[in-house]
Amino acid sequence: MNLDPRERFDQLARPPAPVPVHVHYHRGPRLVELVYDAGELRDTEAARLESQGVGERRQEQLHYRLPVELLRVFSPSAEVRGHSPDQAVLQTGKRDVSLLDIESVGNYALKLSFDDGHDSGLYTWAFLFELALHQETWWRHYLKELEDAGASRVPPGIQIKQL
């Protein structure tokens, strides 16, 4: 069985994470774009993965787009992760979640506020970089968890969004 990506991330010994030079929220497609200086990533896993189509190079920058749903369902908060892997709470019905705010926290993290009321958990640069590089692994794991639980990404009931 494959290791839960959360556990793999927690067990990694890693150098300091690169800090994006730009973070942008695309409201329509609900994507958070992280932009890194390609020169800073030259000797990292990102350089190897770029040759496999992970990330998009534009001039001397690497761009990664993370779906807000992915960020929400893997929130690093205790509410979602628990205090150990067996306490993690599967997040369901989050397909249409959006961001209300992105706030910088010191020089090490972002605080994301979602429109479903969730706003706890700090997304460190290391965690965001991990999600950017291994997005497909995290998605596959989440979809498998939903399938195993007989749950869905689709919110229950009638969705009413303010325009």
Domain limits for position 129? 5-11+19-149
Domain assignment of residue 96, yes or no = yes
- In the 8-state DSSP scheme, what is residue 20? P
- C-alpha to C-alpha distance for 50 and 144, rounded to whole angstroms: 26
Count: domains in the chain? 1
3-state SS assignment for residue 6:
helix
Alpha-carbon distances of 142 from 54, 119, 135, rounded to whole Å: 19, 20, 11
- C-alpha to C-alpha distance for 97 and 117, rounded to whole angstroms: 10
pLDDT interval class at 12 (50, 70, 90): low
Domain assignment of residue 86, yes or no = yes
Strands (E), 14-54: 22-26, 31-37
Domain assignment of residue 155, yes or no = no
Domain assignment of residue 56, yes or no = yes
Q: Does residue 38 contact residue 62 with C-beta atoms inside 8 Å?
A: yes
CATH number at residue 43: 3.30.2020.30
Alpha-carbon distances of 38 from 45, 49, 89, rounded to whole Å: 12, 12, 36
Domain assignment of residue 43, yes or no = yes
Domain assignment of residue 154, yes or no = no
pLDDT digits (tens, 9 = 90+) for 100-159: 999 999 989 999 999 999 999 899 999 999 999 999 999 999 999 999 999 999 998 766
The whole-angstrom distance between residue 31's C-alpha and the CA centroid of its chain comes to: 10
User: Which pLDDT score, from 0 to 100, does residue 145 have?
Assistant: 94
| pTM for the full predicted model | 0.85
